[in-house]
């Protein structure tokens, strides 16, 4: 393989160059035989096409290929759309793997089961999907470097004067004598008019190059940069400190450490659910909806530990914010947001009993048990008290005579009381659960008569922090900027040479929107009395293939 | 030739950086959802909790001694089973510089005291009222036991029930020299 292609003009071009960077002579046989030059990348060598020797070059060239890039895009798109056939497991409220599998099978049949077992229910976290997106990223970077840099160089170093063979192989050309006036002034007139049309004009002897909108060529590269920044932003979510998305359940009256936010505590003062008190409308009745929610609100206090405090130290908390979290009105602090997500109403908080004589029905006094903090003893007077021997918040039955609790939540509270009364100073033991009383030592004289309950609500909040949003926004903005530059601006060039006999040779090229450049040339032609131009591509074909060559 | 070499090096560097980025992404998203964000070998987060007798226990006070840190709840079946075994082994190892600290997850004093009395536990039991220590140690299933070395490092994280034999060997492993 040759290292360089040396043009007739003695300029050394890299291997793979199609059009000499200096004079513009076509260098390949293909170009020499064509009527109109392929002006993609201005005929500069696509780097990957030039060397293909070491393993590194081979990998590089793989990613540089547009075919590979397009294939990666298509595969990624297909995979991403497969992930939308059934809901992702993230949206399925089933705790364990087994429950999730059952859910897919039950809801979507055997297809759902297959979907889950193939891992498609969590496709976006799968390693192969991430590798796919990563390879797409590599492809974007490598392909852009390979094409963008040579294009930039060749546009930066363009010469004013191009060889005849270059000029004649442009799509729009004009040749001939000027139609009227002094030919000595023609180039000046052209310069005037082109400058007027906001072209940048350079002259070199009898040659002139007018150029406008070169930055339009950078559009695709700018939008690739945007895409890469966007992908980086998504990747940053995995770095510690950039992204937090935690759920917390907190009951009224509780203070809890905030997950994902070190040193902060949240207290739930009250959860409020408000509904519209309208009579059900016709459509409400049809849908079987009795009430319509108006407001979900959690009144909270956010506290911060002192600087030198360690985990577990919840004394000396400093109040940071007092706020009412409502839907769409999160509590915000240092980049963290607390969103109202869920609620549970009426969890038992206090149970009220009265120590009652079974026979007479006479009450010796009330015993109110705060389920969050039960006491060992409830004293009514000197001779009358109730000792609490056991408390089982979620009673689930007996095991070896011992009452069991299956969770720490008071869903089904049960107690063992020892009632000491003047009548029975040694005490009577009673096991009390909801709608169940057991008196192990035979018939008691007294009972703990159920009086009532007090309940409290629980709020489900989401703690969210996303430091990657500015990165994503910047990436998205740059991407759109690139798209706009590439779509709405065109790179237009007009080369003119005046031969010794005063005749004019003109060639024009644009990467898109030939209509506009022709309008510009029309204006110049009229102003400087130039010969009429021709479009070397067929008129019919030209109407169909208007402006698709973005690169 | 010089130029070619430079090109190969540059291309290799770019490719290696990009591939490293992908590998990192795949690796960290694969390990992200696991319970143990706190990794074995990491520094054990310091904490301070109060036990049933009103005494304050601070992890850093136990530096130079092994700490057998057990997270539990009264409703948790395996916790009930391993507690008496822990108590027996504690009796053997407490004179050899191994401490047992049982952290209850936000239950009431009454329930915890009742449990301790029932099983006659002799090691200190603290209550994590705000779930702050639980959050710091990222505890999910109960019971979870953290073996903390005399240097204050997390030696091992054990989730689920332990046999008495295992408990003994775990305590042995964090005995100070």
Given the DSSP bridges, would you call strands B66-72 and B56-58 parallel, antiparallel or unpaired?
unpaired
| Average confidence (pLDDT) over A32-54 | 74
pLDDT over threshold 70, residue A1: no
Nearest-neighbour CA in chain B from A395: distance (Å): 10
Q: Which residues in chain B have Cβ-Cβ distances shorter than 8 Å to A375?
A: 110
pLDDT over threshold 60, residue A545: no
3-state secondary structure A222-243: HHHHHHHHHHHHHHHCCCCCCE
Model pLDDT, residue A272: 94
How does pLDDT run across A375-415, given as a tens digit for each residue? 999 999 989 999 999 999 999 999 888 899 999 999 999 99
Q: Taking the domains of chain B in order of start, what are their residue ranges?
A: 1-33, 48-173
How does pLDDT run across A464-480, given as a tens digit for each residue? 999 999 999 999 999 99
> Is the preceding omega at residue A99 within 30 degrees of 0, hence cis?
no
pLDDT over threshold 50, residue A540: no
Report d(CA A367, CA A421) in Å as an integer: 13
Report d(CA A262, CA A507) in Å as an integer: 68
| Average confidence (pLDDT) over A47-74 | 84
**Average pLDDT value for chain A:** 88
pLDDT over threshold 70, residue A205: yes
Cβ of B75 and A257 within 8 Å? no
pLDDT over threshold 70, residue A84: yes
Could you say which of 3.40.1190.20, 3.40.30.10, 3.40.710.10, 3.60.130.10 is the CATH number of the domain covering B48-173? 3.40.30.10
Q: What are A518-521's contacts with CB under 8 Å, separation 24+?
A: A518/A172, A520/A194, A520/A197, A520/A199, A520/A492, A520/A494, A521/A172, A521/A174, A521/A494
Q: Which residues in chain A have Cβ-Cβ distances shorter than 8 Å to B132?
A: 257, 265, 311-314
Model pLDDT, residue B159: 87
Helix, strand and coil percent figures for chain B, each rounded to 5: 45, 25, 30
pTM of the model: 0.74
Model pLDDT, residue A47: 64
* pLDDT band, residue B35 (cuts 50/70/90): very low
* Percent of all residues in chain A with a pLDDT value above 70, rounded to a whole number: 95
Nearest-neighbour CA in chain B from A372: distance (Å): 6
| Average confidence (pLDDT) over A508-531 | 93
pLDDT over threshold 70, residue A49: no
Model pLDDT, residue A91: 77
How does pLDDT run across B46-105, given as a tens digit for each residue? 999 999 999 999 999 999 999 999 999 999 889 999 999 999 999 999 999 999 999 999
Burial category of A534 from C-beta neighbours within 10 Å (exposed 0-12, middle 13-18, buried 19 and up): exposed
Structural tokens at position A41: 């990348």
CB A80: neighbour CB atoms within 10 A?
A: 14
Structural tokens at position A4: 């360089």
Burial category of A412 from C-beta neighbours within 10 Å (exposed 0-12, middle 13-18, buried 19 and up): middle
CB A480: neighbour CB atoms within 10 A?
A: 13
The closest alpha carbon to A221, from A155, A157, A275, belongs to A155
Nearest to B75 among A312, A374, A407 (CB): A407
pLDDT over threshold 70, residue A70: yes
ipTM above 0.95, yes or no: no
* pLDDT band, residue A541 (cuts 50/70/90): low
Cβ of B111 and A391 within 8 Å? yes
pLDDT over threshold 80, residue A490: yes
Residue with tokens 């073996």: B147
Nearest to B132 among A54, A130, A314 (CB): A314
Model pLDDT, residue A95: 61
Cβ of A265 and B73 within 8 Å? no
Model pLDDT, residue A315: 80
Model pLDDT, residue A290: 76
Choose the most confident range, by mean pLDDT, from A51-65, A85-99, A268-282, A443-457: A443-457
Model pLDDT, residue A2: 46
Nearest-neighbour CA in chain B from A59: distance (Å): 9
């Amino acid at each position: 393989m040759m290292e360089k292609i040396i043009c007739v003009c003695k300029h050394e071009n890299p291997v793979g160059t199609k059009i000499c960077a200096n004079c513009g002579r076509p260098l390949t046989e293909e170009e020499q035989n064509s009527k109109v030059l392929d002006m993609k990348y201005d005929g500069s060598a696509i780097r990957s096409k030039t060397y293909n020797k070491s393993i590194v070059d081979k990998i590089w060239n793989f990613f540089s290929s547009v075919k590979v890039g397009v294939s990666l895009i298509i595969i990624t798109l297909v995979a991403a759309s497969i992930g939308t056939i059934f809901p992702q497991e993230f949206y399925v409220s089933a705790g364990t793997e087994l429950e999730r599998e059952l859910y897919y099978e039950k809801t979507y049949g055997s297809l759902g089961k297959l979907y889950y077992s193939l891992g498609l229910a969590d496709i976006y976290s799968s390693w192969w999907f991430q590798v796919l997106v990563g390879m797409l990223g590599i492809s974007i970077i490598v392909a852009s470097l390979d094409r963008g840099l040579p294009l930039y160089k060749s546009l930066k170093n363009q010469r004013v004067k191009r060889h005849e063979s270059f000029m004649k192989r442009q799509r729009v050309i004009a040749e001939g004598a000027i139609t009227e006036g002094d030919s000595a002034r023609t180039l000046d007139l052209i310069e005037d008019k082109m400058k007027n049309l906001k072209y940048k004009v350079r002259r070199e002897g009898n040659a002139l190059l007018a150029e406008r909108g070169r930055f339009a060529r950078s559009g695709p590269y700018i939008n690739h940069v945007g895409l890469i920044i966007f992908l980086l932003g998504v990747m940053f979510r995995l770095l510690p400190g950039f992204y937090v998305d935690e759920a917390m359940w907190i009951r009224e009256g509780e203070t809890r450490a905030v997950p994902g936010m070190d040193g902060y505590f949240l207290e739930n003062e009250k959860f409020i659910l408000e509904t519209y008190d309208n009579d059900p409308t016709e459509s409400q009745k049809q849908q079987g909806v009795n009430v319509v929610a108006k407001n979900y609100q959690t009144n909270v206090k956010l506290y911060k530990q002192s600087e030198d405090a360690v985990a577990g130290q919840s004394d000396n908390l400093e109040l940071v914010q007092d706020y009412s979290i409502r839907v769409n009105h999160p509590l915000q602090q240092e980049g963290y947001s607390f969103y109202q997500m869920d609620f549970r109403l009426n969890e038992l908080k206090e149970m009220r009993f009265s120590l009652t004589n079974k026979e007479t029905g006479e009450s010796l006094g009330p015993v109110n048990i705060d389920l969050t903090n039960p006491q060992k003893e409830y004293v009514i007077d000197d001779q009358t008290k109730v000792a609490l021997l056991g408390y089982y918040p979620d009673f689930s039955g007996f095991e070896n005579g011992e009452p069991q609790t299956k969770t720490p939540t008071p869903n089904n509270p049960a107690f063992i009381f020892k009632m000491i009364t003047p009548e029975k100073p040694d005490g009577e033991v009673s096991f009390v659960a909801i709608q169940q009383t057991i008196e192990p030592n035979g018939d008691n004289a007294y009972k703990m008569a159920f009086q009532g309950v007090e309940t409290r609500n629980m709020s489900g909040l989401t703690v969210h922090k996303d430091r990657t949003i500015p990165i994503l926004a910047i990436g998205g903005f740059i991407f759109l900027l690139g798209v706009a530059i590439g779509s709405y601006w065109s790179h237009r060039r007009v080369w003119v040479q005046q031969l010794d006999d005063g005749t004019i040779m003109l060639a024009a090229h644009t990467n898109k929107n030939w209509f506009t450049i022709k309008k510009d040339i029309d204006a110049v032609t009229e102003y400087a009395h130039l010969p009429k131009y021709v479009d070397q591509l067929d008129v019919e074909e030209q109407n169909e293939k208007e402006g698709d060559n973005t690169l | 030739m010089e130029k070619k070499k430079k090109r190969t090096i540059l291309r290799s560097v770019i490719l290696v950086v990009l591939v490293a980025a992908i590998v990192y992404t795949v690796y960290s998203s694969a390990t992200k959802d696991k319970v143990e964000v706190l990794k074995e070998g990491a520094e054990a987060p310091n904490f301070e909790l109060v036990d049933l007798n009103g005494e304050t226990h601070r992890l850093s006070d136990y530096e130079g001694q092994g700490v057998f840190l057990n997270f539990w709840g009264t409703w948790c079946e395996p916790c009930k089973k391993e507690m008496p075994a822990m108590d027996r082994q504690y009796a053997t190892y407490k004179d050899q510089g191994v401490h047992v600290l049982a952290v209850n997850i936000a239950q009431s004093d009454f329930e915890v005291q009742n449990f301790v009395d029932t099983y006659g536990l002799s090691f200190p039991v603290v209550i994590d009222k705000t779930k702050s220590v639980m959050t710091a140690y990222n505890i999910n299933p109960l019971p979870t036991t953290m073996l903390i070395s005399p240097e204050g490092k997390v030696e091992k994280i054990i989730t689920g029930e332990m046999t008495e034999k295992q408990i003994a060997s775990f305590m042995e492993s964090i005995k100070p020299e």
